[in-house]
Amino acid sequence: MAKVRILPDRVANQIAAGEVIERPAAVVKELVENALDAGATRIEVEFRHGGRSLMRIEDNGSGMTRDDALLALERHATSKIAEAADLDRLHSFGFRGEALPSIASVSRFELQTRVADSDVGTEILINGGKFVHVRDCGRPVGTRMEVTHLFNSVPARRKFLKTDATEAAHIVHCVRLYALASPQVAFTLIEDGRVIFRSPECSTLAERVTEIFGQQIADSLIAIESVEPGSKLSGLIGRPGVGRATRHEMIVFVNGRPVDSRTLNYALIESYHESLPKGRYPLAFVFFECDPAAVDVNVHPAKREVRFRSEPQVRGFVIRSVLQRLRELGAPVVPVVEAKAIRPGEAVTLPAGLAPLVVPAPVPRFFAAPIPAPIRAAIAVPVATASPQPPVASELSDREARHEISMSSWRFIGLAHGSYALFETSAGLVLLDRRAAHERIWFDRLVAQFTSGSVPSQRLLLPIPLEIDPIAAALLIDRTKFLCGHGFEIGEFGRNFFRIEAVPTWMEPADAEPFVRDVLGALREGRLPEGNLALAREELARISAAKAIRLPTAPAEAALRALVAELFATRTPLTSPSGRPTFIELNHGELARRFQK
């Protein structure tokens, strides 16, 4: 039986490094936080090969004496707190005292520092947790930390790192977060000897957002500031109607610290539920300030998550503040275009001469396979399509068993709420969701085009500029060939700047930029896997189908009959690509039961 023993400090530091130092960007995060805590007004970050070979962070902060520098490399040594009660009044980024010894244990770590009242600085070199030397050096006031050969003492960890481009994108994103958190601090970021961005001290957050994220995003933001006892919300939020497919541009800060807060994120999303379509997320760069005792930042090893003492109160305050600011704009609310099933008690407007139909509870049941015989027979004969492109020749499992019977047994009644086509059939009443039906038809059509490699494309007279963040840029560069094989032509035009020069014929040019951003969001979430081309094409078709739809406001009866015929020519006509039903039926028995006959 093994005996219990105390681990050596070197092993303990390497274990701690596994929690704190996940990737090169985590090293940059910890060292930039130290620089900000030291009162720096100028920070320079340099890295090479995605941070594998070099990371250098230099600042003009207060610096450290030799004794403090040596002590800072010990575990749980910090100048930020002295007792447990200090955790309730934190005003600094760091406080655990684990970052420096953890970094030094898994790399070649060099520290140079000097305080203002000393004529010489101190240089400390540690390689894989072992002290190499401590000596005097000449340098200006401040601190310079250089990390090379990351994970040299734990080579297994190096195998889990991504490509240099991906790791570099995470470092750039991290530095940008802290540049946003501290607009009053000048930041310089250098990659492989090339300056990525150099931002001087900014007087406002809007200036820093413009410099980092570009004028396109800055122009779509509005300022917000709201104060209640114990809480303050400030920053920039997106205008109504400006949304993204993912939450990656919804950035929140709590007491100046960039965090991932479910409470704040969901409060922002809920605030925009009437201003953005379902499934879209707002742009936001917001700062939430409260009493340090009201928030716990000691939840996650990397301090990315926080927990509020009164989360309902925080959530309510944010929602009230954002809604009030949106209402002040007086901008029209963007309608939610997502189709939905008719709810119990909801009136359905029918053509003139017919009384409104109210669907009583419970909700009508959805069709389940197999397709009912009357519908299967009614759509057997192809009808001339009103679509600009021919339908996809898909095979139904029971196509051979169907008989050629005319659709004359379906009597078109009218449109309800502009989204639902009502038909009277020999079996009862059918309500067809036009949008869901179009999505299914376009999905099958696009999958067929993507699979055959015959995606028609149109060149744009004026290329569409696209400015994105570094992580999205790295993903776009990696998958440019994939997109170009599906009707797009996208060229790199500078650092994190691209031009859309051609789009598929089914896409309106105005939709190109938001569509590419949606695809990049799917890439970041892993919904377009590189190793499975078929799944990637299906997901791309699913995203594309929603953009390809152009619903006429008052379609003719012939067009709606053609829509039904085209729908049942697809592989799975019962549901849309997102899993919503394309139609529901109220048969005679169900109608009689609801009217208690």
Q: pLDDT tens for residues 436-450?
A: 888 888 888 888 888
CATH number of the domain encompassing residue 228: 3.30.230.10
- Residue at a domain's end among 329, 356, 374: 329
Half-sphere exposure of 74 (CA within 13 A, CB side): 8
Q: Is residue 213 part of a domain?
A: no
Measure CA 586 to chain center: 40
| SS3 category, 115 | coil
d(CA 248, CA 497): 18
* Structure tokens that stand for 438 in this block: 């179009």
Q: Yes or no: say if 12 and 156 are a contact pair by the CB < 8 Å rule.
A: no
d(CA 186, CA 122): 25
Same domain, 180 and 276: no
Same domain, 254 and 307: yes
Q: Is residue 524 part of a domain?
A: yes
Q: Yes or no: say if 492 and 477 are a contact pair by the CB < 8 Å rule.
A: yes
Same domain, 22 and 87: yes
Residue at 419: amino acid letter? S
CATH number of the domain encompassing residue 54: 3.30.565.10
What is the pLDDT, as a whole number, of residue 354?
38
- Residue at a domain's end among 329, 358, 388: 329
Q: Is residue 190 part of a domain?
A: yes
Q: Is residue 337 part of a domain?
A: no
Burial class (CB in 10 A: 0-12, 13-18, 19+), 82: exposed
Q: Yes or no: say if 280 and 269 are a contact pair by the CB < 8 Å rule.
A: no
What is the pLDDT, as a whole number, of residue 369?
39
What is the pLDDT, as a whole number, of residue 96?
65
Same domain, 242 and 279: yes
Q: Yes or no: say if 382 and 565 are a contact pair by the CB < 8 Å rule.
A: yes
Q: What is the mean pLDDT of each run of 10 residues along the chain (597 residues)?
A: 68 61 90 92 95 94 92 77 62 74 90 94 92 92 94 78 85 91 93 86 89 83 93 93 84 91 92 85 93 82 80 93 87 41 43 41 38 45 39 39 45 83 85 88 88 87 86 82 88 85 88 87 79 83 80 79 85 84 86 83
Same domain, 515 and 575: no
Q: Yes or no: say if 57 and 44 are a contact pair by the CB < 8 Å rule.
A: yes
Same domain, 561 and 525: no
What are the residues whose beta carbons fall under 8 Å from the beta carbon of 300, sequence distance 6 or more? none
Same domain, 278 and 299: yes
CATH number of the domain encompassing residue 574: 3.30.1540.20
Same domain, 55 and 167: yes
Q: In which domain, by residue range, is 403 found?
A: 347-442+552-594
Q: Yes or no: say if 105 and 8 are a contact pair by the CB < 8 Å rule.
A: no
d(CA 297, CA 306): 5
d(CA 421, CA 331): 31
Beta bridge partners of 137: 121
Q: Yes or no: say if 552 and 388 are a contact pair by the CB < 8 Å rule.
A: no
Other C-beta atoms within 10 Å of 164: how many? 19
d(CA 232, CA 226): 6
Beta strands 411-416 and 420-425 are: antiparallel
Q: Is residue 438 part of a domain?
A: yes
* Structure tokens that stand for 120 in this block: 């010489």
Residue with the two structure tokens 């998550």: 305
Residue with the two structure tokens 């420096």: 100
Same domain, 185 and 312: no
Q: How many residues does the chain have?
A: 597
CATH number of the domain encompassing residue 476: 3.30.1370.100
Measure CA 156 to chain center: 30
Average pLDDT, the chain: 80
Residues above pLDDT 90, as percent of the chain = 28
What are the residues whose beta carbons fall under 8 Å from the beta carbon of 410, sequence distance 6 or more? 378, 423, 424, 425, 430, 561, 564
Q: What is the pLDDT of residues 84-137, one digit of tens each?
A: 665 666 667 766 677 888 899 889 999 999 999 999 999 999 998 888 999 999
- Residue at a domain's end among 180, 204, 228: 204
Q: Is residue 199 part of a domain?
A: yes
What is the pLDDT, as a whole number, of residue 185?
94
d(CA 208, CA 51): 25
What is the pLDDT, as a whole number, of residue 570?
86
Other C-beta atoms within 10 Å of 358: how many? 11
Q: N- to C-terminal Cα distance for the chain?
A: 78
Q: Is residue 360 part of a domain?
A: yes
Strands annotated E in 408-546: 411-416, 420-425, 428-433, 457-467, 489-494, 497-504
Q: What is the pLDDT of residues 495-549, one digit of tens each?
A: 778 999 999 988 888 888 888 888 888 887 778 877 788 888 888 888 888 777 7
Query: Which residue in 32, 80, 10, 100 sits closest to 298, CA to CA?
Result: 80
SS3 string, 288-348, reads EEECHHHEECCCCCCCCCCEECCHHHHHHHHHHHHHHHHHHHCCCCCCCCCCCCCCCCCEE
Number of domains in the chain: 4
Same domain, 224 and 103: no
Same domain, 226 and 323: yes
| Residue 564, CA distances (Å) to 378, 541, 551, 559, 569 in order | 10, 21, 14, 9, 9
- 403-440 exposure pattern, b = at least 16 Cβ within 10 A, e = fewer: eeeebeebebbbbbeebbbbbebebbbbbbbbbbbbbb
* Structure tokens that stand for 584 in this block: 């529901």
What are the residues whose beta carbons fall under 8 Å from the beta carbon of 60, sequence distance 6 or more? 40, 41, 42, 140, 141, 142
Same domain, 76 and 111: yes
d(CA 111, CA 71): 13
d(CA 47, CA 58): 12
d(CA 56, CA 109): 10
Q: Yes or no: say if 521 and 245 are a contact pair by the CB < 8 Å rule.
A: yes
Q: Is residue 341 part of a domain?
A: no
Residue with the two structure tokens 């600011």: 325
